[in-house]
Amino acid sequence: MTAKILDGAALARELRTEIAKAASELTAKGHQPGLAVVLVGEDPASQVYVRNKVSACEQAGFYSEMHRLPANTSEAALLELVTTLNHRDNIHGILVQLPLPAHINSHKVIETIAAEKDVDGFHISNAGLLMTGQPLFRPCTPYGVMKLLEKTGISLRGAEAVVIGASNIVGKPQAMLLLQSGATVTVCNSKTKDLASHCKRADILVVAVGRPNMITGDMIKPGAVVIDVGINRLPDGKLCGDVDFNSASEVAGWITPVPGGVGPMTITMLLQNTLEAVQRTL
């Protein structure tokens, strides 16, 4: 093992202490940060994620409420709930957990969230602001990855960054943030030919695919920073990332573990975005 561990759990603790302090100051002035989390259906992974989000809110002194709706909830009913939350003064952030059941148009739901309460940063106006270099809310996972990269002290200017995965939630906004930090960015997708040759050029490799252990040590440039966004559950119940930690950590300079890497940072940046949402209303 040669790689240094990029400890997301420790960084998350540090940042959450600062966030909790800011929240308590706001609460003392009558502006307690408030987040509404909406979950439609019974997806087990989503249930865990939203529970963790709500409990992080409580620990940071935020007000939070969880809306659990059955899988057969109509699109109209969900839009009505979002509209109600848009008008609530004690709710500064609204998060609708994705994926939604197939009969609901998730674009329509996201576009219904007031842009100034869209703490996920998924609304088209927030995506546009990010794209044009004037972000309001940065999507939480890519925002957390940028904080982790900052922690290494490695300059991103002119670095070769390769993002594997091109989702609206991680890959695309991640590429934008890296580009705006001066990196040369390649975004790979499931059709990319010779993925290994792209990976091997990367000084910064961000993997967000959802396939257990698909990136192995022989695909990594010696000394690279490897950020593993994947959280996969193996048949034995254990969690693993998209990167094969054992072989990758023999080659990389820095690597995030799973669990304890990107995951805690995603939730931390959700708290940060909610705090920023309150501050903008004052």
104 belongs to the binding site for ligand GUN (CB under 6 A): no
Nearer to ligand GUN, 113 or 252 (CB): 113
Catalytic status, residue 120: yes
Say whether 53 is catalytic.
Answer: yes
Whichever of 170 and 219 has its CB closer to ligand GUN, that residue is 170
Q: Work out which of 40, 82, 112, 120 binds ligand GUN, going by CB under 6 A.
A: 120
Determine which helix (DSSP H) or strand (DSSP E) holds 93, and give its type and residue range: strand 93-96
CB 187 within 8 A of CB 166: yes
The single residue among 73, 97, 126, 249 that binds ligand GUN, judged by CB under 6 A, is 97
Gap between the Cα atoms of 198 and 53, Å rounded: 34
Residue 100 contacts ligand GUN per CB under 6 A? no
C-alpha span between 19 and 35 (Å, rounded):
14
Backbone phi, then psi, for 246, in 5-degree steps?
Answer: -60, -50
* Helix H or strand E encompassing 225: strand 225-228
* CA neighbours closer than 13 Å in the CB half-sphere of residue 139: 25
| Residue selected from 98, 131, 195, 240 as contacting ligand GUN according to rule CB under 6 A | 98
Please give the full DSSP string across 141-152, using - where no structure is assigned. HHHHHHHHHHHH
- The answer to whether 255 and 3 have CB atoms below 8 angstroms apart is yes
Report 30-89 residues binding ligand GUN (CB under 6 A).
none
- Terminal Cα distance for the chain, rounded: 49
- 121 contact partners, CB below 8 Å, separation of at least 6: 127, 130, 135, 136, 137, 138, 139, 140, 143, 173, 273
Nearer to ligand GUN, 27 or 46 (CB): 46
Task: Pick between residue 266 and residue 268 the one whose CB is nearest to ligand GUN.
Answer: 266
- List the catalytic residue out of 117, 118, 120, 172: 120
Token pair for 81 = 């709930």
Q: Does residue number 240 form part of the binding site for ligand GUN (CB under 6 A)? A: no
- Residues 151-190 interacting with ligand GUN (rule: CB under 6 A): 169
Which of the residues 21, 29, 47, 97 is marked catalytic?
97
Is residue 119 within the footprint of ligand GUN (CB under 6 A)?
no
- CB under 6 A: which stretch of 95-103, 183-191, 244-252, 254-262 binds ligand GUN? 95-103
95 binds ligand GUN (CB under 6 A): yes
What whole-number distance in Å separates Cα of residue 65 and Cα of residue 156?
A: 38
Provide the minimum distance between the beta carbon of 95 and ligand GUN in the complex, in angstroms, as a whole number.
5
Comparing every residue's Cβ against ligand GUN, the nearest one is 98
Any catalytic annotation for residue 97?
Answer: yes
Q: Which residues are catalytic?
A: 53, 97, 120
Q: Which residues bind ligand GUN (CB under 6 A)?
A: 95-98, 120, 140-141, 169, 266
